[in-house]
Amino acid sequence: MSESGKKIRVVIAKPGLDGHDRGAKVIARALRDAGMEVIYTGLRQTPEQIVTTAIQEDADGIGISILSGAHQFYFKRVIDLLKEKNASDILVFGGGVIPEDDIPGLLEMGAGAIFGPGAPTSSAIEWLEKTVAAKIN
Amino acid sequence: MEDAGFNEAKARYEDKADKALRKNAERRAEFTTGGGIPLERLYDPESIAGHEYAGHIGFPGEYPFTRGVQPTMYRGRFWTMRQYSGFATAEESNARYRYLLERGTTGLSVAFDLPTQIGYDTDHPMAAGECGKVGVAIDSLADMEILFDQIPLDKVSTSMTINAPAAVLLAMYICVGEKQGVKTSELSGTIQNDILKEYMARGTYIFPPHPSMRLITDIFDFCGREIPRWNTISISGYHIREAGSTAIQEVAFTLADGIAYVEAARKKGLDPDVFGERLSFFFNAHNDFLEEIAKYRAARRLWASIMKERFGTKNPKAQMLRFHTQTAGCTLTAQQPENNVIRVTLQALAAVLGGTQSLHTNSMDEALALPTEKSVETALRTQQVIAYESGVTNTIDPLAGSYAIEKLTDEIEAGAMDYIEKIDNMGGMLAAIEKGYPQKQIQDAAYEYQKAVESKDTVVVGVNQFQTKESDAAARKLLRVDASVEERQIGKLKKLRSERGNVAVKERLESIREGARDENANLMPLILDAVRVYATEGEICGVLREEFGEYVENIVL
């Protein structure tokens, strides 16, 4: 729950052809158990589909789960599309098999946070609660 | 049990244990295996009372194959050391295969990139960003020729992790063999060709279930006649486990998939005593050492009885569960990656003590990226140390008769049988997948595991205990596949399309279309004809997509 009392809404997205959905589903359930409203896209989403879903669902954030190594490509496309559609207020965060060296580049691109292998779900929950609250205030 | 002193000794022991417990509680209130099977403090002869050795455990190479599928096991020859690899384009991957062969790997295992696994050419819009990332990009026979350049296909066996488009990649492999002068009948290897676990856990499906099952059984039929030494399918529990299942679920869902394939092939009129010989399996080697060893033994015994009792086979080779093993990728940690070498060693040892036919050991850097040459070498050396130095290979199934191992073997078998019965009652695995049953079971187990790690009930060394502050990962040299790979591959594809005989390509693609419409046709020879004239994988799968449609994921959360 954000401080305004409105439930935080999050789209958990699997971009591209990557079929590893264990992490996406675990984080979706953990966010839901933490009281957020979660929309899980399912596999093989294009960046266009992900951004459209997030806008239609009035999401506070998009969580991108990617383990295929194509993270730079997909984060950039999603962030660029959000800008194009004047929806940059939607937070972008993510996780998966993402080397530490790549994280600064993703943050610079406009990602809010990256949760790598071994990160507890609580770290994503805390980050979302804090960041969404800060955005509202 | 004729042992006069047993009851007395046991009573004495229990008394002692009670006293010890009154002084100090045990580390936990309950002990379970990694997969959640309750463990007793001690197993003893009573744990396996009533076992009839010959019928229940038996001898290696004999029904029910609990102790192994061959009469001499690793005293005859070691398992195949088969490292799964592939990245960027065919050139880079060919160099990696030759590197591995020079260092003593004994079989190849091809990892394809995602566009190849999902039947898209590299220049398809859905393929953008993915070229060469998780495996090698193969668009046509021209790429496959480069992939196996200077690798004699009559000497090396090759496993290909390819499912929905398995027929296309097998056809390419046959054509490369032809060009090397190797008879098709002399090729040996494996295609994964297991669509059911793609729907359930791995995600690289293309077509809906019915035409997918047809492609699979077309391959069984074709290979039975043309490539007798080919493993036509590798029924995979590996990815089910990686998606979060328990050990029992891994065995249960894998064998339930196996049942579905046997039934589909029988419906086509194929004889399980014949095609049954070429079914192979693929399991995970996870962290719980004893549970994993028992798992392989239980899977072997259960499959033997399924093939004998349920399907009435008489040929012992059709009752043998032969399997490949890969150590569990999901247990690798990005933190303190050197610890992964130890994890992989234990997992690989469990696979060997469980009687695997073939083994892939993961590299220490794979929680972060595809492995470097150096880390792959250490992974291969791990297998060689187990094979040549540890001594465990010198007597067969050395843990048989261990009260704990035999008891766990029984429990895993019984637990898997319960699941299979549930799935039978739902109408078989296809129906169960449509209901989302195995998906939900797997996810629940994955979520429980995550909660246990976060509460530290489950310890992951270096992650939730024994952490160190410095960042180990940043300093490491990781393998990178950059965007220029995609440009190069698209360039090759454009050149191919302009230079090949496009009339023949078009004709042969149309033959595939007609074949797709005729349930009685076997698609495999038609695909082979198209591949031979350099029709691309995306073109062939494109025609099949138009005819068969595409699978729509049943999202279960």
SS3 B254: helix
- In a 13 Å sphere around the CA of B426, the CA atoms on its Cβ side amount to 19
Query: Which chain A positions have a beta carbon within 8 Å of B198's beta carbon?
Result: 19
A100·B471 Cβ contact <8 A: yes
CATH number of B61-454: 3.20.20.240
pLDDT score for A6: 87
Whether the Cβ atoms of residue A59 and residue A82 lie closer than 8 Å to each other: no
- Contact: B473, A99; criterion CB under 8 Å: yes
* pLDDT tens string A70-125: 999 999 999 999 999 999 999 999 999 998 899 999 999 999 999 999 999 999 99
Q: How many CB atoms lie within 10 A of CB A85?
A: 14
Listed in sequence order, the residues at least 6 apart from A52 whose beta carbon sits closer than 8 Å to its beta carbon are none
Contact flag B127-A17 (C-beta cutoff 8 Å): yes
CA nearest B475 in A: which residue?
Answer: A101
Q: Of the candidates A100, A117, A121, which has its C-beta nearest B450's C-beta?
A: A121
Neighboring chain A residues of B330 at a CB cutoff of 8 Å: 22
The pTM assigned to this predicted structure is 0.96
Q: Respond yes or no on whether the N-terminal peptide bond of residue B64 is cis (omega within 30° of 0).
A: yes
Interface test with chain A among B112, B368, B471, B477, by most A beta carbons within 10 Å: B368
Residues of chain A with Cβ-Cβ distance to B483 below 8 Å are 73
Q: What kind and span of H or E run contains B98?
A: helix B90-102
Residue A133 lies in a domain: no
CATH 3.20.20.240 placement within chain B: 61-454
Q: What is the CATH number of the domain that holds A30?
A: 3.40.50.280
Q: What is the pLDDT along chain B (557 residues), one digit of tens a residue?
A: 567 899 999 999 999 999 999 999 999 999 999 999 999 999 999 999 988 899 899 999 999 999 999 999 999 999 999 999 999 999 999 999 999 999 888 889 999 999 999 999 999 999 999 999 999 999 999 999 999 999 999 999 999 999 999 999 999 999 999 999 999 999 999 999 999 999 999 999 999 999 999 999 999 999 999 999 999 999 999 999 999 999 999 999 999 999 999 999 999 999 999 999 999 999 999 999 999 999 999 999 999 999 999 999 999 999 999 999 999 999 999 999 999 999 999 999 999 999 999 999 999 999 988 899 899 999 999 999 999 999 999 999 999 999 999 999 999 999 999 999 999 999 999 999 999 999 999 999 999 999 999 999 999 999 999 999 766 554 567 888 888 999 999 999 999 999 999 999 999 999 999 999 999 999 999 999 999 999 999 999 999 999 999 999 989 88
Which residues face B281 on adjacent strands? B235, B323
Q: Which spans in A85-120 are helix H?
A: 103-109
Q: Which domain holds residue A32?
A: 9-128
Judging by DSSP bridges, how do beta strands B80-85 and B107-110 pair with one another? Answer: parallel
Of A22, A30, A42, the CB nearest to B553: A42
Residue B226 Cα distances to B133, B230, B309, B423, angstroms = 33, 9, 29, 34
Half-sphere exposure at residue B228, Cβ-oriented, CA atoms within 13 angstroms? 4
Q: Are B303 and B415 in contact (CB under 8 A)?
A: no
Closest CA to B537 of B172, B125, B89: B172
- Using the Cβ of B446 and the Cβ atoms of chain A, whether some distance falls under 8 Å is answered with yes
Q: Which two tokens stand for residue B447?
A: 């979520």
A23 inside domain: yes
Domain count along chain A: 1
Query: What pLDDT, on a 0 to 100 scale, did the predictor assign at position A4?
Result: 59
pLDDT value of position B473: 52
Strands annotated E in B361-431: none
pLDDT for B533 equals: 98
Q: Are A10 and A62 in contact (CB under 8 A)?
A: yes
- Which pLDDT value is given to residue B474? 47
A116 vs B: CB within 8 A: yes
Contacts of A19 in chain B (CB under 8 A): 114, 198, 202-204
ipTM of the complex as predicted? 0.94
CA angle B230, B235, B238 (to 5 degrees): 125
- Using a CB-CB cut-off of 8 Å, the residues of chain B touching A26 are 244, 443, 446-447, 450
Are B129 and A99 inside 8 Å of each other by CB?
no
**Does residue A88 lie in a domain region?**
yes
Q: What is the count of residue pairs from A and B with beta carbons less than 8 Å apart? A: 107
**Cα–Cα distance between B495 and B486 in angstroms, integer?**
14
- Domain assignment of residue A53, yes or no: yes
A35 inside 8 A of chain B by CB = no
Contacts of B369 in chain A (CB under 8 A): 69, 97, 99
Token pair in block for residue B32: 């379970």
pLDDT recorded at residue A105 = 96
Q: Which of B117, B122, B134, B480 should we substitute to test contact with A (largest number of A Cβ atoms within 10 Å)?
A: B134
A46: which chain B residues are within 8 Å (Cβ-Cβ)? 126
The reported pLDDT for the residue numbered A136 is 78
Question: Looking at residue B550, what is its pLDDT?
Answer: 98
| Residue in B299, B270, B359 with CA at minimum distance from that of residue B69 | B299
Question: Which chain B residues touch A17 with a CB distance below 8 Å?
Answer: 114-115, 117-118, 120, 126-127, 130, 204
Give domain status of residue A134, yes or no: no
CB contact under 8 A, A118 and B454: no
